[in-house]
Amino acid sequence: MTRHNPWKQRIKEFFSSWLVSPAELRSYGVLGMNARNIRYIAHYNDRTRYPVVDDKFKTKLAARKANIPVPELLATMDSQAGRKALLHTIEQCEKFVIKPARGSGGKGILVINGRDGDLYVKPSGVRVTTEDVLRHASNILSGLYSLGGKPDRVLVEAMIDFDPALADYSFEGVPDIRIIVFRGFPVMAMLRCSTHASDGKANLHQGAVGVGVDLASGRAIHAVRHGYRVDRHPDTEMPFDKLVVPDWSRVIRLAASCYEMTGLGYLGCDIVLDRKRGPLLLEANARPGLAIQIANGGGLRGRLKMIESLEPEQFEKNVEERVRYSQLIF
């Protein structure tokens, strides 16, 4: 039957302008949410290891034990009684970040990067009072941002003094690097650059730019904003094709070493570059999102399959060897 059917054709065109066929996605090796949850997260991530990454306070303790550098923790607060101590800490700092220990998806993070008399200045220039900051802390404590509304802990971190090499690629915020580490092997990386629209947050669905990064060189290969390909940063107008992540070999080695620290087989590591201290582990994620595929313009599935097909003794390798292997094949 090769008879021309105008209606069928029209319907097909309508759908193909909006959707891609599953077969096409599969041919690109795109990993879907369901497959990620069942094949990788449920299969390789041990439930008992989740608290290490879900609670950023525990992540910090574990990182310290594993000699992985993290942003400096200024104060924590786990009850309303800690208000005074918190107040005391933040009054002395010009720049700091307040975040919930169990927040998800970047929720509940308050960034203060300046002072204006008694007021605190957010990266967007909005000024907030001490009361506002304390209210934010008590919201965190009562579990507003934590999964399931469980009571939470407030972390106050030193502001990252981020590497100037990346400053031109980020507006009002800290660019961070997300690396997916599968069974210890880094498989894909992206740089998330905040924009004015994303309010200094490196969240892709809030309008930050996702930049796919080549694992071997740290060079940008592809940049995407709101799902569309971009060549320049929307606010700073810097072209992405000149972007190279500085200190890349340390960054990727740090990511790979998170496997030993967390014991999670399928892991997303968020890394920031500090001017003085180099790459720091911001947080680790047991359920890393799939947007990294859009930023890289390619699917994860093939790379994950490749790692899965390795000989068992390959998994005995140390961090150095794993990174070298990943840089070779991807």
Partner 1 sequence: MSPRAQVYILALILAVLGAGLTIYKSSVLGFPLMPGAYRTVWTIEAKVEFLAEGGPAKVALALPRAQRNMRVLDETFSSAGYGFNIRHDGDDYRAVWSRREVEGRQSLFYKLQTYQVAGEPLTQPLDFSTDVRKPFMGSREQEAVGQAINSIIERARVASSDIETFTSQILVQLNDSGDQDRNMVMSHYQDSSLADVALYVLSVAEVPAHRIRGLYLEDDRRRLQAEELLEVYDGSEWIAFEPRSGSPGVPANFFIWQRGGKSLLDVEGGNRSSVTFSVIANDVPARTVAKKMTSREKDALVDFSIYSLPIEQQSIFKLILLVPVGALVVVFLRVIVGLRTSGTFMPVLLAIAFIETQLVTGLAIFLLVVALGLWVRFYLSRLNLLLVARITAVVVTVVILMGAISVISYKLGIEQALMVTFFPMIILAWTIERMSILWEEDGPDEVLIQGAGSLIVAVLAYWLMTNRYIEHWTFNFPELLLVLLGAVLVLGNYTGYRFSELLRFRQLVR
Site for partner 1, rule CB under 8 A: 18-22, 24-26, 28, 30, 32-35, 38-39, 107-108, 131, 135, 138-139, 142-144, 149, 205-206, 224, 227-229, 293-294, 297-299
Between 167 and 230, name the residue whose CB sits nearer to partner 1. Answer: 230
Longest dimension (CA), the chain: 79
DSSP state string for 270-291: EEEEETTTEEEEEEEESS--SH
Between 63 and 112, name the residue whose CB sits nearer to partner 1. Answer: 112
Tokens of 158: 């030193």
Tokens of 262: 């967390």
On whether the CB atoms of residues 192 and 178 are closer than 8 A, the answer is yes
Between 122 and 317, name the residue whose CB sits nearer to partner 1. Answer: 122
CB of 46 to partner 1, least distance (A): 15
Residues in the chain: 330
Q: What span, in angstroms and rounded, lies between the C-alpha atoms of 188 and 69? A: 21
Between 26 and 242, name the residue whose CB sits nearer to partner 1. Answer: 26
CB of 22 to partner 1, least distance (A): 5
Classified as helix, coil or strand, 306 is helix
On whether the CB atoms of residues 279 and 162 are closer than 8 A, the answer is no
CB of 80 to partner 1, least distance (A): 8
Q: What span, in angstroms and rounded, lies between the C-alpha atoms of 257 and 280? A: 12
> Residue 311: how many CA atoms within 13 Å on its side-chain side?
3
CB of 294 to partner 1, least distance (A): 5
CB of 166 to partner 1, least distance (A): 24
Between 206 and 327, name the residue whose CB sits nearer to partner 1. Answer: 206
